[in-house]
Amino acid sequence: MDDDGFLLNIAEPSAFAGPSSKGKIKKGGRWTERVKSKHIVQKRTRNEDHPETRGDQQERPQKRPRTESKTSSAPAPTQRPAVQGKPAQIISSLFSSNPTLPKQSAPKHPSTSKSLAAPSNAPLTDSSTFQGLRLNPLISAHLASRMNIDKPTAIQRSVLANLLDPNPDIAARDVFIQSQTGSGKTLSFLLPILQDLLPLSSLSYIDRSIGTLAVIIAPTRELAKQISDVLEALLKLRLRPEGTSADAEDGQGGNLTRWLVSGLLVGGSTKTHEKARIRKGLPIIVATPGRLLDHLQNTESLNVGKCRWLVLDEADRLMELGFEESITGIIKGLDGRRKLALNAVEEGKSMEVGGWDWERRRRTVLCSATIREDVQKLAGTTLVKPLMVKAITAEGNAPVIAAGADTTSGDAITEQKLTPPSQLTQKYVVVPLKLRLVALIALLRSLVSQQRTQGSRIIVFLSCTDSVDFHWTMLGGTTMGGPAEEDPSGSDSDESDAEEAKGSHRGEQVEARSPLLPGCSIFRLHGSLPTPTRLSSLNQFTGKARKRKEAPGADPKAATSSILLCTSVASRGLDLPLVHAVVQADLPTEGGATEYVHRIGRTARAGKGGEAWCFVSPSESEWVGWVSARMQDDTEKGKGTAAPSLGEVGIESVLCSGFSCKSHEYEDRATQIQLACERWVLRRKENASLARRAYQSHMRAYATHPSDEKQMFHIRHLHLGHLAKAFALRDAPSAVSRAQGSSTQSRLTSAKLKSQPKDKSAGAKPEKERARDLERKAKKGDWVIDHSGDAERRMQEVVRRQGKLTRKGGAMVSGGGSADYQVPDLGMLEKLVGK
Ligand SMILES: Nc1ncnc2c1ncn2[C@@H]1O[C@H](COP(=O)(O)OP(=O)(O)OP(=O)(O)O)[C@@H](O)[C@H]1O
């Protein structure tokens, strides 16, 4: 990897405890360097004499006397005394007291172990053509000439063969699609809709006021917007019958799609604007369920009586997010409006022009990665005589359709495990908790440098919104040089208070830049951000905005690589071009192996290459075998094929590669980076608060792993002191909760008090006493870090209950119904415990 500005910013290599010191005490030069050099030599000697004092031992190390820290090559761990009532700070070494890592067979370098498998989601290379599948030649010609899409993918071949089949028996059936990520499902349902609506262009009365003829529902705003963009691209094709000139009489150049206007209806945008568009007519609607149901119930001008198509994309996600009731409501709404429209026509009360084929039924397409019980139930209630359509990956095979029985029960819909694209390389790194932050920075540096010429796009998944905010803000604010380490009176300086008072936080800023990741723009995405910020982050990440920067006169230093820090909100369906790597710094807390496959499926799309990385802590290493077994294709076709394997890469290789150094030099560089992050946390009160919040929310998120994964992800396995370090905190765990607790204490107390029964029946403590108890507890820092099984169980129950409660209404978060995991705040937890 090339050196860059980053290296120049940190201390001279000679100052590091690298092999270059060759065991000699430095003579001459600055006294600080001489002292450092002396420490290094002393440490080496001790390590040789007592190798057991390096890189340590047990799962949950005992607290050691502070003298132990002198054995580390990194700056000596110290406990800073409490100043003016502030909690003591712990500056411990990154490379001591870590659990022993399982032996690696062959430590691999990050850039090795490329996948050689043939792509499984690429366009077919056999004789299949779109025209051969009965796609209108006008559409296929335009796909090739304007969108560079010549050949169908396997799933497109299977789906089009069904949906374009004129046989009335097939046309009478609905379709269930299951396929790999990035295999082109969006076009597989949009093309048949377009082809079906195109002939209506010849009706003399046709225009957009005809009403809505197709409805597509997606679980998240981002996914709905993306489908809407692909649809708009298709509609912009300005399909003209052969021989029609562009300046035909209608002023539209005979454009057959002129009346086919699409509309996006999603939560978070202004309803007034949407209503105005609905009034003018939207023949195709792409929507999120909540907003569509709202319009069906409250917008009279929404004319869906003639709707011919209903698509439920990512149906399993829709179910996970609790949209079942909304979907049922939408289907009832569509049926009801149809009946009303038909009655009006039959009674002669309608203004409708005659000639509409009211006999034609609405066809439903349901896409889902998994076929769990709730999805089967949905299929049972929404699909008629469903045909189960899966991709045929083997080249040269004729389309194979797994047909369901002629029932509406959905019984014949059979599960097939979701497998990742075969060309996708999967790697994992066993990272001790303490090293998580520096390991993430190192890995990102390494991935960015691999793709420097093309400019890389990397997606990083984190456990919760607070963690995303912390990493994004911290990376954008950390400097390697910078001011003095911290204000000796603590971080609550007047300056920071004044800035805070002015509200000088990062606000709606979308892009962050970091000296630790030179040439990179860093974006974030989670459900608590306002919709415009979410869309702007995605736009800029995918480079639409960057194209403008590259325009003449634009800033030549504009970043060439982009990193998107996000929660699971970005795991489904998003097609972000040129993403070459996905990093799961936190493994999914919900959705198990399926969620993992969806996340890694943001790369290696449509036959392109890509790599997926995940961090596994030593106590989670069993997860690797667990997830591999769940990705094994155990259908007849898949039997005998090897399970998709995750290759291990050593933590040392990641650090060496990321910090461009050899051998143990990485310890010093990693330490410098860690210290820079810790300094950032100390610099301002709001930084510290952000870090503490992220740490606590991460733990709450961790507690939500389902019970069948608890043996791998138990909160009791987390060394909380080490975890604090991963959030650049120098506080002891109890101090973290105390510091955060003091700001939420009043909320906690009032919440708890409110939840108490009003009567003072026998045995109940008087309110004042209870409040004192609570205060005492909060001061002790017991709110979160209480390892007694009971507190932990209660917390988990509460988190689960809260999840269920929020999902019941179909809305996931307070911030606007996104597919985001939103951790409850402490007040909420306490409130629920009290119920
Ligand atoms: N026939 C094709 N030839 C080349 N590229 C295609 C073809 N069909 C689709 N693509 C491209 O493949 C990418 C993935 O398509 P799409 O987003 O529809 O996948 P998907 O199956 O819905 O993925 P996911 O399961 O992740 O939602 C898109 O960039 C799309 O433009």
Helix axes 622-631, 592-600, angle to 10 degrees: 80
Given ligand 1 and candidates 186, 216, 579, which is best to mutate, with the most ligand atoms within 8 Å of its CB? 186
Centre of ligand 1 from the C-alpha of residue 472, in Å: 29
Of the given ranges (132-146, 271-285, 554-568, 797-811), which has the lowest mean pLDDT?
797-811
pLDDT score for 366: 96
pLDDT category, 34, cuts 50, 70, 90? low
Centre of ligand 1 from the C-alpha of residue 155, in Å: 10
Token representation of residue 453:
């010429």
Strand partners, 262: 284
Closest C-alpha residue for ligand 1 atom 14: 182
Contact between residue 440 and residue 467 where contact means Cβ atoms under 8 Å apart: no
Same-domain check for residues 384 and 467: no
Q: Is residue 89 part of a domain?
A: no
Same-domain check for residues 371 and 446: no
DSSP per-residue string spanning 765-832: PPHHHHHHHHHHHHHHTTTT---SHHHHHHHHHHHHHHHHHHHHTT---TTTS-S---PPPHHHHHHH
Q: Is residue 49 part of a domain?
A: no
Given ligand 1 and candidates 121, 135, 140, 149, which is best to mutate, with the most ligand atoms within 8 Å of its CB? 149
> Which one has a higher pLDDT value, 821 or 113?
113
* Residue 711 scores a pLDDT above 70: yes
Ligand 1 proximity of 219 Cβ (cutoff 6 Å): no
Same-domain check for residues 472 and 344: no
Each residue's pLDDT tens digit, 625-662: 999 988 876 665 555 555 568 999 999 999 999 998 87
Q: What are phi and psi of 618, to 5 degrees?
A: -55, -35
Closest C-alpha residue for ligand 1 atom 15: 184
pLDDT score for 764: 40
Ligand 1 proximity of 178 Cβ (cutoff 6 Å): no
pLDDT score for 28: 57
In the block, residue with structure tokens 């979308």: 510
Euclidean distance between CA atoms 592 and 682, whole angstroms: 36
ipTM comes to 0.99
Same-domain check for residues 462 and 345: no
Contacts (Cβ under 8 Å, ≥6 apart) of 754 = 831
pTM of the model: 0.74
% of the chain surpassing 70 pLDDT: 62
State how far Cα 63 lies from the chain centre: 36
How far CA 19 is from CA of 2, 40, 353, in Å, comes to 20, 10, 86
Ligand 1 proximity of 152 Cβ (cutoff 6 Å): yes
Q: Is residue 835 part of a domain?
A: no
Same-domain check for residues 375 and 455: no
Identify the H or E element spanning 512: strand 512-514
Contact between residue 362 and residue 309 where contact means Cβ atoms under 8 Å apart: yes
End position of a domain, from candidates 705, 721, 737: 721
Euclidean distance between CA atoms 465 and 233, whole angstroms: 32
Contact between residue 124 and residue 157 where contact means Cβ atoms under 8 Å apart: yes
Centre of ligand 1 from the C-alpha of residue 606, in Å: 6
Euclidean distance between CA atoms 257 and 245, whole angstroms: 15
Centre of ligand 1 from the C-alpha of residue 137, in Å: 20
% of the chain surpassing 90 pLDDT: 41
> Which one has a higher pLDDT value, 706 or 4?
706
Token representation of residue 674:
């860690």
Same-domain check for residues 457 and 578: yes
Ligand 1 proximity of 421 Cβ (cutoff 6 Å): no
Ligand 1 proximity of 571 Cβ (cutoff 6 Å): no
Ligand 1 proximity of 153 Cβ (cutoff 6 Å): yes
pLDDT score for 631: 86
CA-CA-CA-CA torsion sign (701, 704, 710, 715): positive
Centre of ligand 1 from the C-alpha of residue 25, in Å: 60
Centre of ligand 1 from the C-alpha of residue 371, in Å: 21
Centre of ligand 1 from the C-alpha of residue 183, in Å: 5
Q: Where are the alpha helices (DSSP H) in 684-764?
A: 685-702, 720-726, 733-755
Each residue's pLDDT tens digit, 718-764: 888 899 999 999 877 777 766 665 554 444 333 343 433 333 333 34
Centre of ligand 1 from the C-alpha of residue 187, in Å: 7
How far CA 676 is from CA of 378, 417, 508, 680, 739, in Å, comes to 51, 44, 25, 6, 22
Ligand 1 proximity of 418 Cβ (cutoff 6 Å): no
Same-domain check for residues 386 and 434: no
How far CA 290 is from CA of 6, 90, 190, 326, 661, in Å, comes to 47, 48, 22, 6, 52
Contact between residue 295 and residue 264 where contact means Cβ atoms under 8 Å apart: no
Each residue's pLDDT tens digit, 504-535: 334 578 999 999 998 899 999 998 998 889 98
- Closest atom, ligand 1, to C-alpha of 226: 17
Same-domain check for residues 447 and 362: no
> Average pLDDT, stretch 500-507?
39
pLDDT score for 558: 54
Same-domain check for residues 438 and 531: yes
Contact between residue 544 and residue 571 where contact means Cβ atoms under 8 Å apart: no
Closest C-alpha residue for ligand 1 atom 27: 573
Euclidean distance between CA atoms 626 and 617, whole angstroms: 15
Contacts (Cβ under 8 Å, ≥6 apart) of 49 = none
Q: Is residue 273 part of a domain?
A: yes
Same-domain check for residues 280 and 382: yes
Q: Is residue 793 part of a domain?
A: no
Closest C-alpha residue for ligand 1 atom 7: 184
pLDDT score for 414: 59
Q: Where are the alpha helices (DSSP H) in 417-477?
A: 436-450, 465-477
pLDDT score for 312: 97
Q: How many CA atoms lie within 13 A of 608 on its CB side?
A: 18
Q: Is residue 122 part of a domain?
A: no
CATH number reported for the structural domain that contains residue 290 in this entry: 3.40.50.300
| Number of structural domains in the chain | 2
Q: How many CA atoms lie within 13 A of 732 on its CB side?
A: 14
Q: Is residue 533 part of a domain?
A: yes
Centre of ligand 1 from the C-alpha of residue 503, in Å: 43
* Residue 562 scores a pLDDT above 60: yes
> Average pLDDT, stretch 251-275?
82
> Which one has a higher pLDDT value, 639 or 587?
587
Each residue's pLDDT tens digit, 153-170: 999 999 999 999 999 889
In the block, residue with structure tokens 């009478």: 172
End position of a domain, from candidates 390, 409, 436: 390
Ligand 1 proximity of 601 Cβ (cutoff 6 Å): yes
Identify the H or E element spanning 533: helix 531-541
Strand partners, 461: 566, 584
Given ligand 1 and candidates 187, 228, 576, which is best to mutate, with the most ligand atoms within 8 Å of its CB? 187
- Pairing, β 401-403 against β 387-390: antiparallel
In the block, residue with structure tokens 């987390």: 718
Q: Is residue 156 part of a domain?
A: yes
Ligand 1 proximity of 181 Cβ (cutoff 6 Å): yes
| Helices (runs of H) and strands (runs of E) counted in the chain | 27, 18
Ligand 1 proximity of 267 Cβ (cutoff 6 Å): no
Q: Where are the alpha helices (DSSP H) in 313-366?
A: 315-320, 324-346
Closest C-alpha residue for ligand 1 atom 31: 184
pLDDT category, 204, cuts 50, 70, 90? confident
End position of a domain, from candidates 390, 414, 434: 390
Residue range(s) defining the domain that contains residue 443: 424-480+509-545+558-634+643-721
* Residue 814 scores a pLDDT above 70: no
Centre of ligand 1 from the C-alpha of residue 195, in Å: 19
Token representation of residue 542:
């995918």
Same-domain check for residues 291 and 146: yes
Same-domain check for residues 332 and 468: no
Q: Where are the alpha helices (DSSP H) in 556-664?
A: 592-600, 622-631, 651-658
Token representation of residue 260:
């086919």
Each residue's pLDDT tens digit, 436-492: 999 999 999 999 988 766 678 999 999 999 999 999 999 998 876 654 344 433 433
Closest C-alpha residue for ligand 1 atom 17: 575
Q: How many other C-beta atoms can be found within 10 angstroms of the C-beta atom of residue 347?
A: 8
